[in-house]
Amino acid sequence: MQGTYQQSNLRIELAASEQALRESLLYPAKLQQWLAPLRLSRGLPDVLQPGLTFSSVLGPIAIQHTVDRVESNYLRFLLSQGIDGFHEWQWGEGWVQSRIEGVSLLPLNLGQSISLLRLQQSLAVSNP
């Protein structure tokens, strides 16, 4: 894998319940809404489960995600292709935290920051 090793850990507060965050992260239909313009593989199940593998695509860049762990307030993806590493999500009442580590040519911190802001905006619209 070409690129540099990068790691980033961001936590934000947002006006959303733990349940709303869980659904936004574990339900592919909701995940796709706030990750746009990133496109997820078609034919995903209603809820992410350990062992599931899918791709996300942004322009010419594809990232393969394998769901490693799912708990009531925790999600971990193993990443390959565009990023060789992992992405963890933790959440609770009014907060979400994202930790990503891996080797990539992509600016992981920038992408992570944009994703968290999009999630925050999406939840603000759906939970006024």
Q: Domain residues of the chain, as ranges? A: 15-126
Query: Selecting from 3.30.530.20, 3.40.50.720, 3.40.50.880, 3.40.50.1820, what CATH number does the domain 15-126 have?
Result: 3.30.530.20
**pLDDT band at 128; cut points 50, 70, 90:** low
pTM, rounded to two decimals: 0.92
Q: pLDDT tens across 2-47, in order?
A: 899 999 999 999 989 999 999 999 999 999 999 888 899 999 999 9
Long-range contacts of 16-21 (CB under 8 A, 24+ apart): 16/94, 16/96, 16/123, 16/127, 17/93, 17/94, 17/127, 18/73, 18/91, 18/92, 18/93, 20/123, 20/126, 20/127, 21/91, 21/92, 21/96, 21/123
